[in-house]
Amino acid sequence: MKLIITESQLKIIGIFLNETHSHEVEKIVTYLKNNYEPTGKYVRKGGAYSEKPMVTIKVDGEVITLKDLLMVVKNEFKPLEKTKEGVSDDFIKQVIQDWMFNKVSDKFELSKNISH
């Protein structure tokens, strides 16, 4: 089955999808800002120290990896109903990465366009 739409209809659909996308980004970024703080941590590998991006939990000051943060955010934003898909792992990863490096725009747009 094919669906044929006009350019004006495509623009309206695009605006709706961007608003939904921005709303999801805003919810996740707000959650991250309220509970976590980006930080750097030095890790020794092969005799040399390198800085690894880490996150500090604001409540207790514990430092966790981005992998751990991804698991927490995935759990927080998993769908409540079995019929809903929720947000994808790639989408959450991009939100976390953009939040870490301050790349989320004022309109809650990501640096890369990833479907949620």
Query: What are 104's two structure tokens?
Result: 């989320």
More confident: 114 or 68: 68
- Whole-number Cα distances in Å, 50 to 2, 44, 95, 97: 53, 6, 24, 18
pTM beyond cutoff 0.75: no
Q: What percent of the chain has pLDDT over 70?
A: 78
d(CA 24, CA 15): 14
- For residue range 18-70, what is the model confidence (pLDDT) as tens digits? 555 788 889 999 999 999 999 877 666 666 766 788 889 999 988 888 899 99
Q: Which residue has the higher pLDDT, 16 or 4?
A: 4
